[in-house]
């Protein structure tokens, strides 16, 4: 069931997986085979993931996996509108450090015919995001055009990922395709650093103090609000990587 491990690496890396021209398949000869029984497979999949996550940190072009520590995002933009605040923010040259330190704590597998639901809980001691940002915002009737660098550090991230997928056959092999994904990270603490929010550095510092005091609220709004931007990208990248992972060879036949 290494396909699930690879899927999870892509999930945790925010979709660091892309397809090369020629399809090559993941070879899991040195990895354990998992029981076909869903109730027993979870522990085995967890061990495989904890083996593969540090191993593939530099990526594997043959498997369509980009390096994910740091994980680089060229550009991403979000539209935002709620109450008195609306606008658009785009980030560029973003580097995320820490993904390869992910420890999978628990994997739960539910099978229903060709459908599979995975629940994965993982822990990450620290994560660091660096990059540039640019925004156009309307706060009440005040127009802001902040632009600058940011450095966000997250501490003790607990990631809960739920995916719905289905098996399908191609070229006489069996594959998994993810149909839906939900990611729900909990964070113990966060430090936000940025410049360029206001032309005046003292106002910048004030704004950052506010942001650092209220990050829980900000984060609670931003994550669901931006889901439409990141979820489809994630799904596409994961599914591209999963085309490299025929699953039959990784599962024990029924006893
Ligand atoms: C980013 O911020 C963290 C925590 O505040 C700090 O330890 C780190 O050195 C900073 N990184 C850079 C590149 O400025």
Burial class (CB in 10 A: 0-12, 13-18, 19+), 1: buried
Nearest atom within ligand 1 for CA of residue 151: 1
Please report, in tens digits, the pLDDT of each residue of the chain (255 residues total).
455 555 556 556 555 555 545 678 888 788 888 888 888 889 988 888 898 888 888 988 888 788 889 988 888 888 877 777 788 989 999 999 998 998 999 999 999 999 999 999 999 999 999 999 999 988 888 888 999 999 999 999 999 999 999 999 988 888 999 999 998 889 999 999 999 988 888 888 988 998 899 888 878 877 777 777 778 877 887 887 788 888 887 777 654
For 157, 197, 219, the CA distances from 189, given in Å and listed in that order, are 8, 22, 11
Rounded CA separation 218/224 (Å): 11
Ligand 1 mean position, distance from CA 214 (Å)? 20
Substitution candidate for ligand 1 out of 131, 154, 192, 193 with most atoms within 8 A of CB? 193
Q: What is the pLDDT of residue 191?
A: 95
**Alpha carbon 238 to chain centroid, angstroms:** 10
Task: Give the E-state strand segments of the chain in sequence order.
Answer: 71-82, 85-97, 103-112, 115-139, 142-144, 147-170, 173-194
Q: What is the pLDDT of residue 234?
A: 78
Q: What is the pLDDT of residue 199?
A: 83
Secondary structure (3-state) at 67: coil
Residue identifier of the C-alpha nearest atom 10 of ligand 1? 151
Residue identifier of the C-alpha nearest atom 9 of ligand 1? 151
Query: Which residue intervals of the chain are DSSP H helices?
Result: 2-12, 38-55, 201-213, 215-225, 227-242
Domain ranges of the chain: 3-252
Ligand 1 mean position, distance from CA 50 (Å)? 27
Q: What is the pLDDT of residue 232?
A: 83
Closest CA to 100 of 57, 161, 71, 151: 57
Does any ligand 1 atom lie closer than 6 A to the CB of residue 208?
A: no
Rounded CA separation 185/48 (Å): 22
Could you tell me the pTM of the whole model?
A: 0.78
Residue identifier of the C-alpha nearest atom 14 of ligand 1? 151
Tell me which CATH code domain 3-252 carries. Answer: 3.15.10.30
On whether the CB atoms of residues 70 and 96 are closer than 8 A, the answer is: yes
DSSP 69: T
Does any ligand 1 atom lie closer than 6 A to the CB of residue 153?
A: yes
């Amino acid at each position: 069931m290494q396909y699930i491990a690879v899927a999870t690496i892509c999930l945790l890396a925010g979709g660091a997986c892309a397809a090369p021209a020629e399809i090559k398949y993941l070879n899991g000869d040195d990895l354990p085979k998992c029981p076909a029984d869903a109730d027993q497979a979870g522990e085995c999949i967890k061990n495989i993931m904890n083996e593969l996550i540090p191993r593939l940190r530099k990526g594997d072009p043959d498997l369509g996996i980009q390096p994910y520590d740091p994980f680089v995002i060229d550009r991403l933009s979000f539209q935002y509108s709620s109450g008195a605040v609306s606008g658009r923010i785009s980030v560029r040259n973003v580097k995320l450090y820490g993904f390869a330190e992910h420890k999978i704590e628990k994997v739960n597998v539910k099978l229903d015919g060709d459908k599979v639901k995975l629940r994965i809980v993982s822990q990450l001691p620290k994560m660091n995001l660096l990059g540039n940002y640019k925004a156009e915002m309307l706060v009440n009737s005040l127009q802001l055009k902040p632009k600058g660098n940011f450095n966000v550090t997250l501490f003790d991230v607990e990631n809960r990922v739920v995916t719905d997928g289905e098996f399908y056959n191609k070229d006489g092999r069996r594959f998994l395709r993810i149909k839906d994904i939900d990611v729900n990270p909990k964070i113990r603490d966060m430090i936000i650093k940025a410049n360029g929010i206001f032309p005046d550095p003292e106002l910048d510092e004030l704004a950052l103090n506010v942001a650092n005091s209220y990050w829980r609220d900000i984060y609670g709004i931003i994550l669901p609000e931006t889901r439409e931007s990141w979820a489809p990208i994630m799904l596409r990248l994961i599914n591209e990587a999963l085309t490299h992972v025929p699953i039959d060879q990784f599962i024990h036949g029924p006893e």
